[in-house]
Amino acid sequence: MPSITKPLIPLSPLPKNDLGLTIRDYEGQMSTLCAGCGHDSVTAAIVHAFWELSTPPHMIAKLSGIGCSSKTPTYFVRGAHGFNSAHGRMVPIATGAIAANRELTYIGISGDGDSLSIGLGHLMHGIRRNVKLVYVIENNGVYGLTKGQMSASADIGSRPKKGEANVLAPIDPVTTALSLGATFIARSFSGDKEQLVPILKAAIAHNGFALIDVISPCVTFNDHEGSTKSYKFMRDHEVKEVETDFVPIRTEIRAKIPTDGAIEVTMHDGSSVRFRSVPEGYDPHDRMKVEEYIRDRQSRGEIVTGLLYVDESAKELHELNATPASALAKIPYASLCPGSAVLASMQEDFR
Amino acid sequence: MEPTNDQDPSYYHKVVDCQWACPAHTNVPGYIRMIAQGQFDDAYMLNRESNVFPGILGRTCDRPCEPACRRDRVDGQPVAICRLKRVASDLKGDISDRLPVIPSKKNGKRIACIGSGPSSLTVANDLLPLGYEVVMFEQFGKPGGLMRTNIPEFRLPDKVLEDETQVILDMGVDVRYNTPVTSLRALLAEGFDSIFVGVGAPRGKELDIPGRHDEVDSHIFIGIDWLESVAFGHVSSIGSRVLIVGVGNTAMDCCRSSRRLGGTDIKVMARRPREYFKASPWELDDAEEEGVGIIVNHAPKRFVIEDGKLIGMEFDVLDWDPGAKQSTVLRTVIIPCDDVILAIGQENAFPWIERDLGLEFGDWDMPVVDKATMQSTLAGVFFGGDAAWGPKNIIWAVAHGHEAAISINNHCSDVDLNDRPPQGMNLVSQKMGMSEWSYHNDYNPSPRQKMSHVELTKRFESLDLEVELGFSLEQTVHEVQRCLNCDVETAFNAPACIECDACIDICPVQCLTITSNGDEADLRSRLSAPALNLDQDLYVSAPLPQTGRVMVKDENVCVHCGLCAERCPTAAWDMELFDLQIPYAASANFIRIGAMSPSGASRS
């Protein structure tokens, strides 16, 4: 833990966003994670994304479960709403919050333990309901908070710091989400903000559940020789063939960027995601092809990163349930809960 | 860009803005930390090593360090470096046992110093410990040069001046008071091994406009001559209405002295607008606080003399174009007055140097002096202080004195004058444990402490009442914490970096970036925060091991909080104390003896 709080420097010449805020206004408390933890870089990427999008801090809600990853919402956007829930239970809490107030931007931070072991059932249903939530998995392949046991995302043959190599097959959140019908699937690396920040911005703009699996090395328990989730391993095995840019709405109005042949996806809010480059024959709308490509690369020992699949046509939770356009939380109580007489008459309809 | 050569002391030295800006390269953060810990003797001695006169400079320095101070770029107010120096001086105890030991056996070399101002005294200070005999010629009856004659006692008390000059004279200087040197030829004939000319710039500039010489008795004075007369008690009063022509620091001393000698309506007359004044802003503030009027855009036209008596001065009132290059005269105005003091600059004057000695004079009738060695074209004759290149200030005179002493030592040892010992450095890690440093790394938001002054009602009672009271203990405690410890440097070891971005994310001023290399202009434009201050260097690392990118640091507003090093999992970043090793005549001697004769025997 650092000896001091990151000081605020009066004249430090930091640029301001459309709201007149500097990036320092999107920070949170000092991180108590290990020095060099990948999670802190993910935190910084989230700070960048929200600052660049000029999202008002009070219009953000950040949620998490339990684990090193789940501590991180404390470290970004101190002005946002937040809920630190029980282990693996971030999705149900988020679903409730989203149902009640659809006007906020929701971001959930989870880890490979929180998401792929104890919380896997909830994750699946979050995908199934297509709740409008940015779901970040800070994936390091170990249970860091309990001293480095291999997690459900550890690859076969990956060696822990002490003890035997892992023999169990990993659960890959990306292919799992593909098979469950997720509408926004990306993988990135904490050591690569140039890729991660645009993906986060696209995820925030996405109309539905946006899953981002971020390989985020654990410097203390999983950054050694023999690990498949170390900084070095990622730099040696990462394949960045799918490259995207996020284009905010206002940029589009100002300048027409040439789009010769590039795949462009218009997001729900009018912004767009442009695929700068994809492998020959790759189609980020074709679930089968994407999975085939990822599995092919996996079999060669390579880790594909980028915004891999996106479907902006699917309906999210509120659209599926035909709820009112305004937040339920803002509907006057008398209308929201019209009383037992109305309930009785409704029940009568089902008899 | 090429990787930064951090083995060159000048890279880290430049990061310590105050030390870099100080002509004598005083280790400012070092002595401020000592003050913070109550080590006043140590702080004083660290100062004395480089600037020789901490007590005097703590009151009178032109403070080139303060505009350079990084704190100015961080919260708009530099650390009160000069006033902290005074704290060290005021609170020091007896330091006599820490002064250099003067060998009883002399080395047989005799040096003449002309003048007993700061540059001459520095030469003596540096050479006496090496066994030199120093003979100092002083035209007046007391030592100190312009420090005594031109700085009024209400700014620099006699005792402070006396103490710090006496310390050097007590090292064994043979001072010849009331002995102006009238002929360099005659002095050369006395067979000194070397001569140092530290006579200052003793002639005040004249203002030859109509009426200047029409008075019967004299009410028009040359500023520095007048201050000198005041200093020696020859002048003890002045008329009630006084005009000071000129707006440099001498003008400030003249107007404030006038205020104490009977002047009640004092105006400082400036030709140009305020932003072009030569006076230090704080001296202007002090003068205005004492009720002195500062009148801008008035160019002197003539002295108004009636019946041989000065009754006023006529001025052109000017209108300047933006940038104050061209002016037009709007009208003229006569301002009545009893006395006028001319403070429009100083000049050098060397009537006592014969022009056929081989000592060349160049432009403006100034001696030709080598910038590095301080030597004139006559071997063995050296210049320093204002005598070398015209009026500067005390701290420059001290810096010249140090350099001249090295040259004189070389000259007397038959060593090439350009064979000068290089600067060196020590870099020592300040890590004491996990997130624990040997220095106070937290940023303290205290504002700059304001110097308290003697009340205006009491201030004019006597000429020698010091106006500034010095910092209280509480003010000192706050002010020392404002120093950013720029000498605790961020040192980077590229091979250890795993490019985890932790340092970049934690930096409170976004001064770090990992990116692909490029030329400087390109790099400056694509850092975490654009590097717009071109006076401040970029640090560029060697290529990083995993991706071949480079670590770039913009030195501009780094607050040396050490968070990058605390967040670094591999200790690629470390906070290391930079100690500049400044060569002096004594260290030159030491190095050369070591190199030339392992036995350590002294040279002839």
* pLDDT tens readout for residues B519-533: 999 999 999 888 999
Please give the pLDDT value at position A14.
78
DSSP secondary structure code for residue B257 in this structure:
H
Decide: A275 and A243 in contact? Cβ < 8 Å: yes
**B154 Cα distance to chain centroid:** 20
The full DSSP string for B93-138 is: ---GGGSPPPPSS--S-EEEEES-SHHHHHHHHHHGGGT-EEEEE-
Number of helical H runs and strand E runs in chain A: 13, 14
CB atoms within 10 A of CB A296: 12
Distances B4 to B30, B330, B393, B542 between C-alpha atoms, Å:
25, 56, 34, 8
Closest residue in B to A232 (Cα–Cα): B546
> Residue A282 domain-assigned?
yes
Question: pLDDT tens digits for B219-275?
Answer: 999 999 999 999 999 999 999 999 999 999 999 999 999 999 999 999 999 999 999
Calculate the CA dihedral of residues A334, A339, A342, A348 and round it to 10 degrees.
150
Say if residue B465 is in the same domain as residue B500: no
Say if residue B295 is in the same domain as residue B381: no
> CA quadruple B40, B41, B46, B50: dihedral positive or negative?
positive
Range of the domain at B465: 10-96+444-482
Tell me if A14 and B509 make a contact (CB, 8 A cut-off).
yes
Q: Mutate which of A1, A6, A238 to disrupt the B interface (most B C-beta within 10 Å)?
A: A6
Residue that is written with structure tokens 């770039």 in the block: B552
Number of domains in chain B: 4
What is the C-alpha separation between B475 and B87, in angstroms, rounded? 10
> Residue B3 domain-assigned?
no
> Residue A221 domain-assigned?
yes
What is the C-alpha separation between B211 and B208, in angstroms, rounded? 8
What is the C-alpha separation between A86 and A75, in angstroms, rounded? 19
Decide: A137 and A203 in contact? Cβ < 8 Å: no
> Residue B603 domain-assigned?
no
Sequence-ordered list of residues with C-beta below 8 angstroms from that of B163, at least 6 positions apart, any chain: B55
The β-bridge relationship of strands B133-137 and B110-114 is parallel
What is the C-alpha separation between B506 and B565, in angstroms, rounded? 10
> Residue B191 domain-assigned?
yes
What is the C-alpha separation between B603 and B109, in angstroms, rounded? 12
The β-bridge relationship of strands A142-143 and A149-150 is antiparallel
Q: Mutate which of A231, A233, A234 to disrupt the B interface (most B C-beta within 10 Å)?
A: A231
> Residue B604 domain-assigned?
no
Please give the pLDDT value at position A163.
86
> Residue A10 domain-assigned?
no
CB atoms within 10 A of CB A82: 16
Say if residue B361 is in the same domain as residue B452: no
Residue that is written with structure tokens 């104050």 in the block: B324
DSSP secondary structure code for residue B362 in this structure:
-
What is the C-alpha separation between B293 and B242, in angstroms, rounded? 10
List of chain A residues with pLDDT < 50: 252-259
Residue among A3, A44, A223 minimizing CB distance to B436: A3
Chain B hits for A28, CB-CB cut-off 8 Å, are none
pTM of the model: 0.89
Say if residue B116 is in the same domain as residue B177: yes
CB atoms within 10 A of CB A99: 17
Nearest Cα neighbor of B194 from B133, B268, B251 is B133
Residues B14-21, mean pLDDT to the nearest whole number: 98
Give the domain CATH number at A206.
3.40.50.970
What is the C-alpha separation between B400 and B394, in angstroms, rounded? 10
For chain B, the distance separating the N- and C-terminal CA atoms, rounded to the nearest angstrom, is 49
Question: pLDDT tens digits for B108-138?
Answer: 999 999 999 999 999 999 999 999 999 999 9
Average pLDDT, chain B: 93
Tell me if A4 and B499 make a contact (CB, 8 A cut-off).
no
Give the domain CATH number at B322.
3.50.50.60
Specify the 3-state DSSP secondary structure of B179. Answer: coil
Say if residue B341 is in the same domain as residue B300: yes
pLDDT for residue B516 is more than 90: yes
Say if residue B146 is in the same domain as residue B277: no
For chain A, the distance separating the N- and C-terminal CA atoms, rounded to the nearest angstrom, is 62
Residue that is written with structure tokens 């409704």 in the block: A346
Residue among A1, A44, A217 minimizing CB distance to B505: A44
> Residue A122 domain-assigned?
yes
Q: Phi-psi bin for B108: left (phi > 0), alpha (psi -120 to 50), beta? A: left
Residue that is written with structure tokens 């929701």 in the block: A106
Tell me if B509 and A191 make a contact (CB, 8 A cut-off).
no
pLDDT for residue B424 is more than 50: yes
Q: Phi-psi bin for B430: left (phi > 0), alpha (psi -120 to 50), beta? A: alpha
Tell me if B563 and A2 make a contact (CB, 8 A cut-off).
yes
Residues of chain B in Cβ contact (below 8 Å) with chain A: 73-76, 435-437, 441-443, 445, 498-502, 504-506, 508-510, 529-530, 532, 546-547, 556-557, 559, 561-563, 566-570
Decide: B504 and A43 in contact? Cβ < 8 Å: no
Which helix (H) or strand (E) segment holds residue A306: the answer is strand A306-310
Please give the pLDDT value at position A261.
55
> Residue A207 domain-assigned?
yes
Which range is least confidently modeled, A172-181, A261-270, B27-36, B151-160?
A: A261-270
Please give the pLDDT value at position A278.
84
- Looking at the DSSP bridge assignments, the partners of residue B135 are B112, B174
Residue among A9, A44, A219 minimizing CB distance to B557: A9
Say if residue B64 is in the same domain as residue B25: yes
Decide: B4 and B540 in contact? Cβ < 8 Å: yes
Tell me if A34 and B569 make a contact (CB, 8 A cut-off).
yes
Please give the pLDDT value at position B593.
40
Residues B340-344, mean pLDDT to the nearest whole number: 95
CA angle B100, B103, B109 (to 5 degrees): 110
Closest residue in B to A32 (Cα–Cα): B567
Question: pLDDT tens digits for B353-387?
Answer: 999 999 999 988 899 999 999 999 999 999 999 99
Residue B180: pLDDT band with limits 50, 70, 90:
very high
C-alpha neighbours within 13 Å on the C-beta side of residue B182: 2
pLDDT for residue B589 is more than 60: no
The β-bridge relationship of strands A134-139 and A105-111 is parallel
Chain B hits for A2, CB-CB cut-off 8 Å, are 435, 506, 563, 566-567
Residue that is written with structure tokens 């590095």 in the block: B372
Which helix (H) or strand (E) segment holds residue A107: the answer is strand A105-111
Decide: A277 and A241 in contact? Cβ < 8 Å: yes
Asked which of B458, B482, B506 is the last residue of a domain, the reply is B482
Residues B146-173, mean pLDDT to the nearest whole number: 96
Q: Phi-psi bin for A163: left (phi > 0), alpha (psi -120 to 50), beta? A: left
What is the C-alpha separation between B192 and A8, in angstroms, rounded? 60
The β-bridge relationship of strands B241-245 and B265-269 is parallel
The Cα of B442 is separated from the nearest Cα of chain A by a number of Å equal to: 6
The full DSSP string for B401-432 is: HHHHHHHHHHHHTT--TT-PPPPEEEEEE-EE
Q: Phi-psi bin for A297: left (phi > 0), alpha (psi -120 to 50), beta? A: alpha
Specify the 3-state DSSP secondary structure of B61. Answer: coil
pLDDT for residue B592 is more than 80: no
B560 phi and psi angles, rounded to 5 deg: 55, 40
> Residue B425 domain-assigned?
no
Tally A–B CB contacts below 8 A: 114
Range of the domain at A101: 23-321
Asked which of B482, B512, B533 is the last residue of a domain, the reply is B482
The β-bridge relationship of strands A105-111 and B431-433 is unpaired
Decide: A306 and A186 in contact? Cβ < 8 Å: yes
Q: Phi-psi bin for B319: left (phi > 0), alpha (psi -120 to 50), beta? A: beta
The β-bridge relationship of strands A238-239 and B346-347 is unpaired
> Residue A121 domain-assigned?
yes
Say if residue B15 is in the same domain as residue B70: yes
> Residue B583 domain-assigned?
no
Say if residue B130 is in the same domain as residue B224: no
**A71 Cα distance to chain centroid:** 15
Nearest Cα neighbor of B59 from B198, B249, B294 is B249
Nearest Cα neighbor of A36 from B441, B546, B572 is B572
Please give the pLDDT value at position A255.
43
pLDDT for residue B594 is more than 90: no
Nearest Cα neighbor of B238 from B227, B251, B250 is B227
> Residue A337 domain-assigned?
no
A51 phi and psi angles, rounded to 5 deg: -65, -45
> Residue A212 domain-assigned?
yes
Number of domains in chain A: 1
pLDDT for residue B590 is more than 60: no
Sequence-ordered list of residues with C-beta below 8 angstroms from that of A1, at least 6 positions apart, any chain: A30, A32, B435
ipTM above 0.90, yes or no: no
> Residue B596 domain-assigned?
no
Burial class, B594, CB count within 10 angstroms (exposed 0-12 / middle 13-18 / buried 19+): exposed
DSSP secondary structure code for residue B130 in this structure:
G
Please give the pLDDT value at position A162.
86
Question: pLDDT tens digits for B79-106?
Answer: 999 999 999 999 999 999 999 999 999 9
> Residue B422 domain-assigned?
no
What is the C-alpha separation between A74 and A76, in angstroms, rounded? 6
Q: Mutate which of B498, B511, B516 to disrupt the A interface (most A C-beta within 10 Å)?
A: B498
b/e burial code for range B16-46 (CB count within 10 A of at least 16 → b): bbbbbbbbbbbbbbbbbbbbbeebbbbbbbb
Please give the pLDDT value at position B482.
97
